[in-house]
Structure formats: C-alpha cells, structure tokens
Amino acid sequence: MSSPTYRGQRWHLKITAYGLGLISLLTFLLPMQARAVPAFARQTGQNCVACHAGGQFPELTPYGRMFKMTGYTIGERTIPLSVMGLASSSRIANAPAGTAKTATPILATASVFLAGKITENMGAFTQITYDPYAVDNGDGTFSGHSNADNMDIRFANHIVGNKQDWIYGVSLNNNPSLTDPWNSAAAWMQYVPVPSPSSSQFIDGTAPYPGFASGGNIAGLNAYLYWNRTVYAEVGTYRTADRALSFMTAGASPRTQLNGSNNPYWRLALSHEWGPHNLMVGTSGMLAHVYDDPTDTSDPASVGKFRNTGLDAQYQYILDPHTVTAQVAYMKTEQTYSDAMSAGLSNPGLGDTNTVTRAKLGYTYQAKYGGSLSFFNLKGSTNNQSDPATSGITYEAFFIPVQNIRIGAQYTSYNKYLGASTNYDGAGRNASDNNSMFLYVWFTY
C-alpha cells in the first residue's frame, strides 16, 4: 500500500514529467512561430510569403517561381526534410447509404518531403504520402498505405546579363505539369488534398479539373527554358515508371501503363510583370498512349490514345496587405479508343471529347485571412460514354494563424452531376445532394 509520502512523490514526479513534456513541446513549437515551414524556407531562411502568394501554399509568387525554375537551389544546404499533415471532416448534403466517416474528424493524410538544394545546380521536391484510409476493409475499418506523391528532381542553370536572362533546366518528374511554375497549370489547378473515406467523394478536389488524361504516376523527362522572364517553353516525354524509375510511383497500384516512351508533353507561356501585378497566358498539351488495363500490357491493340490541349491564364496582385489571384484554365481531351475496346462499343471507330473549364478568384489579407471562389464545368460528347456533364461552384474561407498552419472551410455545390441536375442516377438522386462541406486543418513543418 502506498504511503501518503510516496503518493506525494509520485504526483510530484508526474507533474515534473508533464512539465518537462510541455516544455519539450513548446521548445519544439516555438521556433516554428519564428521561422516555420519546410525545408525550402529553412534553406533560404525566408518566410513562406516570399514564395507563396499571401502565404497560401502551394500558389507561387514571382520569386517563388524563380526559386522553382532555378532548381530549388537558392540558399544554403540544410537538412532537406519536412512533414505535412491534414486533419479534416467532410459532410455530404445527402450522403449515400454506407458513406464512411461522415462529419467525423480524421487525420486524413500525412506527408514527408525530401526537398531542397542538392548541388549548385540540382535540387529536388519529392513527397511521400501516407493515407491512413487508403483501403476500406468493408467492416468499418481501414488500412493505411504509403506511396510516392509529387516528385520533381531537376537540374537548372541561370545565365544573367544586363540585357539577357536565361534559365534552362531539365526535370525528372512523375506528373505532367508538376514542373510548371504557374498554378493555373493542370497539376496545380485544384483544391488539394483529398481524403480517401467516401465522405470526401464530392469535395472540390474530386470535382472535374483541367488535368491531363494520362493522370499522374508516370515518369517524365522534361527540358525547359525561361527567357527574359517573359517566354517559358517546356517539352518532355513520359513513359511507364518501371524499372529504375519505379521509385517515382512506389506504392501506387495499379501503376498507369503507357505504351513506349513517345508520350510527348509541351508547354508555352508568356508572362509579364508590372508594378505589383503579374500576368501569364499559356497553352499546353500532351499525347498519351495508355493501356486500357494497367495490369495487362500483353495486347498492343489495347492501347488507347488521349490528346490534350489546354489554355490557361493567371493574374496576381501582390502588395501588402493584399494578395489577389485570378486563374482560368481550359482543357480539351480527345480520346481515341483502343482497337480492342472499340470493337465492343456502340459506335465503333468514334472517339469522345471532353472539355473542362475552371476559374478561380482568391484573395488574402495580411497573409492571414483569405477566401476563394471557384467555378468548374465539364462537358463531353456521348459517342461511346454516358454524359459526363458536371458543373458547380466551390467557396472557401481560410485562416492562417501562423504561417505553417491553415484552417479552412470549403463548400462545393453542384448544378449538374454526370449529365443532369435532377435524378442523375435514375434513382432520384439530384446533383445538389452531392453538395459537400469540407473542414480542414493543414499543417506543415
């Protein structure tokens, strides 16, 4: 039996332990307040707002774009390690039966970044993401899974003269347009990230966006050039991320299978900066040869073709305390069905064409309080597919209490879903039933 003295000592020990724990936690947290954020910020010693417009990652400022284009090499080498986490809660206006984790706070995803300067001319931005809800076991439980996320390893050189300014480089990456410095490019023109449980199946991150039909998790080698901070040109080609390149899609299953290495990607953009304003107008495209079934590449007749053509523009006004961003992107996807698939279609020999238009207007005050309004509209032909027409509006409000934490509320409302506003599934479900509220806390260090 414990004596009063002994119990007193135990309490004393407990209080001391809690105290030490609290001090350790504060010691860990306090430096974040002063000089937070990932490896890049530690490398330059700068605040998030230097590279991210209004502090809202991932959107880049003109300087942030230069940091990226010069291969993430500005600054001094540090430990190239960062972490990111997302806690969230999603609720669907009229959730389908069996929807998992409705209005339940969850730790949605966690990422580790290996990012930063490697040599004078080489740097990397690589992300590995853990998804605790990757697999729904069907009995109310989930299994977690990690996979390679964004990966961009690049070499760059910057030749600066009084009249001429050239940046050129090459990038090994795993997602078409991930390399792009503007956030109206396909890989960046979307609210991210998206938790896996079905309660998040209609949030903006899952809504149509102007992406490339090949999707991510492939391997590309791109070369780019930026002349006098005016003309940006990039060409690249993609292939299946297998053999030595398999690390770029590690954990992704099934891995997208492209036919051969001749899946070209291109990008051309014109940019101009004046006073606190900057504007970019650009175009991009890709031709991808994709196997119908990523688990079966035995039949050469099972390769479909996707031709993407995109237009996009971005305007920014950045002058304290205001940051305004307007983005618009349009992407056309022309699909030619594989011979194997075409034979069984109702209109053999005919392809299908989809177009996605997205526009977004964002504002941040003092890099602390912000919001955005986004519009999306997907239209498509119906030769051999059911009507994909989906459109809606997303509203977002967020608060950045310290530079590495963002707390947001995002609401996506649908005017049309899979071809109709009402009874789109033939079972009485309306597009507005999918309207979704998404609350999140996004943290990075």
Positions in the binding site for another protein (CB under 8 A): 35, 41, 44-47, 49-50, 62-63, 66, 70, 73-77, 117, 119-121, 155-162, 165, 168-170, 221-223, 235-237, 239, 260-262, 264, 273-276, 318-320
Q: Which residues of 3-35 are buried (b: 16+ CB within 10 A; e: fewer)?
A: eeeeeeeeeeeeeeeeeeeeeeeeeeeeebeee
CB of 74 to another protein, least distance (A): 4
Nearer Cβ to another protein (168/395): 168
Q: What is the DSSP string of 251-310?
A: T-SSPP-BSSS--EEEEEEEEEEETTEEEEEEEEEEEEEEESSTT----GGGEEEEEEEE
Nearer Cβ to another protein (165/387): 165
CB of 439 to another protein, least distance (A): 29
CB of 89 to another protein, least distance (A): 32
CB of 302 to another protein, least distance (A): 22
Nearer Cβ to another protein (199/259): 259
- Find the DSSP H helices in 324-410: 339-342
Nearer Cβ to another protein (216/236): 236
CA dist., res. 280 & res. 273, Å (int) = 9
- Residues 321, 339 contacting (CB under 8 angstroms): no
- Residues 91, 129 contacting (CB under 8 angstroms): no
Burial environment of residue 439 by CB neighbours within 10 A (0 to 12, 13 to 18, 19 or more): middle
Nearer Cβ to another protein (158/379): 158
CB of 36 to another protein, least distance (A): 11
Nearer Cβ to another protein (94/262): 262
- Tokens representing 2 are 């414990």
CB of 34 to another protein, least distance (A): 9
CA dist., res. 445 & res. 438, Å (int) = 23
CB of 294 to another protein, least distance (A): 21
CA dist., res. 239 & res. 297, Å (int) = 13
- Residues 198, 99 contacting (CB under 8 angstroms): yes
CA dist., res. 181 & res. 171, Å (int) = 13
CB of 71 to another protein, least distance (A): 9
Nearer Cβ to another protein (180/396): 180
Widest distance between CA atoms in the chain: 88
CB of 330 to another protein, least distance (A): 26
- Residues 228, 164 contacting (CB under 8 angstroms): yes
Nearer Cβ to another protein (97/160): 160
Cα Rg of the chain (Å, integer) = 24
User: Residue 256 carries which side chain, given as an amino acid letter?
Assistant: T
Residue with tokens 């960062």: 82
Nearer Cβ to another protein (238/440): 238
- Tokens representing 255 are 């891995």
Q: What sign for the dihedral angle of Cα 244, 245, 247, 252?
A: negative
| CA neighbor of 150 nearest in space, from 172, 175, 167, 168 | 175
User: Residue 369 carries which side chain, given as an amino acid letter?
Assistant: Y
Nearer Cβ to another protein (100/172): 172
CB of 275 to another protein, least distance (A): 6
